[in-house]
């Protein structure tokens, strides 16, 4: 027999011979075992634990045990890498725990918005709340595509619990208008059709401008409301915005600020949104999206 097989027999022998109500500790139970063998061993140990009232505690680095939570109570042990080193025990499997196990970033929150400007706003909201690394952001283009995308996902059986579709707030601003658009892409009289349409409506939110206007104009208005004396570091952004009184295209409320700053579009958008976020109107403007992200924060942030 191989070393892994010998180890399995030794573990099973000890467990089968121990007294009822015993406590058994096993370090690195997955050592020398491939996935299928580990699963079968854990199920056998569970049978012994149930029949003999045993408590079996083991360590492992295999994320596959997360699929066996019906028989295993999983705890994640984490030691901080920076002195003074502390060891924490987390009782829930959050994205950071998955990252530590697999080395791959897990982003369970999915947000879709209209364009790069809206994406920059969403990124800022997520950063302020502290959940940016858990959020995957995509763009769907025209506002109408929002309803088509959400409908397609729910028809394919996708769970929209952790998905949000963000509109700019200058179109389909009322629930009635949204429902009318959803009805065009989610038709049918089946028993669950109404529930599907309701689920799509719940998954759609928007920015909340004080007046119905595009995000570019809202950002411009927020920036020029920030006193330069209170924001010396970004005074050039405020000055660049103050130089713009009229535009031929609504996108130019942002484009011309970036042009005046003389920086790349990515850098310009980041600076523009950062300054807008200092205005008094920011919290109200992003309130709907912020509320959703804050409701999801406890599900993705590890609590010591």
Q: Tell me 89's DSSP state.
A: E
pLDDT for position 99? 83
Q: What is the pLDDT of residue 304?
A: 63
Instruction: Find residue 78's DSSP bridge partners.
Output: 88
What is the pLDDT, as a whole number, of residue 230? 65
pLDDT score recorded for residue 220? 96
What percent helix, strand, coil does the chain show, rounded to 5?
55, 10, 35
User: pLDDT exceeding 70 applies to what percent of the chain?
Assistant: 99
Residue 164 buriedness (CB in 10 A; 0-12 / 13-18 / 19+): buried
265 near 119, Cβ under 8 Å? no
pLDDT at position 231 is 66
> What number is the average pLDDT over the span 29-40?
90
Distances (CA, A) of 195 to 57, 83, 206, 253: 43, 52, 21, 40
Domain extents in the chain:
3-74, 75-106, 109-208+286-300, 215-284
Name the architecture of domain 109-208+286-300. Answer: 3-Layer(aba) Sandwich (3.40)
* Mean pLDDT confidence for 156-177: 94
Summarised one tens digit per residue, pLDDT across range 95-131 is 888 888 888 888 999 999 999 999 999 999 999 999 9
226-239 residue pLDDT tens: 987 766 778 899 99
Q: How far apart are CA 56 and CA 291, in angstroms?
A: 42
- pLDDT at residue number 157: 92
CB 166 within 8 Å of CB 111: yes
Q: What is the model's pTM?
A: 0.81
With a cut of 90, say whether residue 277 has pLDDT above it.
yes
| pLDDT over 90 percentage in the chain | 73
- Give the containing element (helix H, strand E) for 90: strand 87-90
Q: Are β-strands 76-79 and 87-90 bridged in parallel, bridged antiparallel, or unpaired?
A: antiparallel
Cα(7)–Cα(160) distance, rounded to whole angstroms? 44
Higher confidence at residue 65 or residue 189? 65
Where do the H-state alpha helices sit in 88-168? 95-102, 116-129, 143-155
């Amino acid at each position: 027999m191989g070393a892994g097989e010998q180890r399995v027999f030794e573990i099973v022998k000890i467990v089968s011979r121990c007294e009822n109500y015993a406590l058994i500790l096993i370090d690195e139970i997955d050592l020398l075992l491939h996935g299928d063998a580990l699963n079968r061993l854990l199920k056998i140990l569970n049978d012994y634990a149930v029949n003999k009232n045993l408590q079996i505690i083991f360590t492992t680095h295999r994320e596959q045990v997360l699929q066996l939570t019906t028989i295993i109570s999983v705890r994640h042990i984490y030691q901080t890498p920076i002195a003074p080193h502390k060891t924490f025990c987390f009782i829930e499997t959050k994205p950071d725990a998955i990252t530590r196990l697999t080395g791959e970033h897990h982003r369970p929150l999915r947000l879709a918005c209209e364009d790069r400007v809206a994406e920059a706003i969403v990124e800022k909201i997520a950063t302020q709340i502290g959940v940016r690394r858990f959020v995957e952001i995509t763009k769907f283009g025209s506002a109408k595509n929002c309803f088509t995308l959400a409908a397609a996902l729910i028809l394919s059986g996708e769970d929209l619990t952790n998905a949000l579709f963000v509109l700019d707030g200058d179109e389909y601003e009322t629930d009635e208008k949204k429902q009318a658009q959803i009805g065009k892409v989610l038709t049918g009289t089946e028993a669950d059709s109404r529930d599907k349409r309701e689920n799509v409506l719940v998954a759609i939110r928007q920015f909340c401008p004080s007046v119905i206007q595009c995000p570019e104009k809202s950002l411009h208005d927020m920036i020029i409301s920030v006193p330069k004396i209170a924001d010396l570091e970004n005074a050039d952004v405020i000055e660049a915005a103050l130089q713009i009184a009229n535009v031929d295209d609504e996108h130019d409320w942002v484009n011309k600020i970036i042009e005046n700053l003389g920086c790349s579009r990515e850098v310009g958008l980041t600076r523009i949104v950062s300054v807008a976020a200092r205005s008094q109107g920011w919290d109200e403007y992003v309130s709907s999206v912020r509320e959703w992200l804050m409701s999801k924060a406890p599900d993705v942030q590890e609590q010591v």
